[in-house]
Structure 1
Amino acid sequence: MRHITLTGGVGPARAYIPELLADVLDGALTPGRAFDQNFTLDQTPDAYRAMADRQVLKSLIRP
């Protein structure tokens, strides 16, 4: 098990938002593997708090 490495880099997620957001909102794509929990727009502060408290890794804010 020698010479095993794990590398990463910058993920340009914002570049994909315009292309993929409509599909997510229409239900054509299910972001369940990327998002832990859904929040409404009014719950945005709760979503950030849940991520800061490490209760949620990634929050999805829905209008």
Structure 2
Amino acid sequence: MALGNPILANIVMIGALCTIGELPVGRDAFRNVVARTLPAEKLDVNLQAYDEGGRILRRCS
């Protein structure tokens, strides 16, 4: 999946780390933080990046 912005790589990593339990942050908590801290138009792409991190790990395992 091409997210179109290399800065989202850190969000992909957060999603991956959350998927394997290394960061105790669920998707809902992540969504709430992003919704409070970033402009509304950035929410969807950040959630896509978070989800992509989990998908990448599932494909590799």
TM-score category (smaller protein): under 0.3
Higher relative contact order, structure no. (Cα contacts within 8 Å, ≥ 6 residues apart): 2
Structure index of larger Rg: 1
More helix per residue: 2
Q: Structure 2-normalised TM-score?
A: 0.26
Q: Structure 1-normalised TM-score?
A: 0.26
More strand per residue: 1
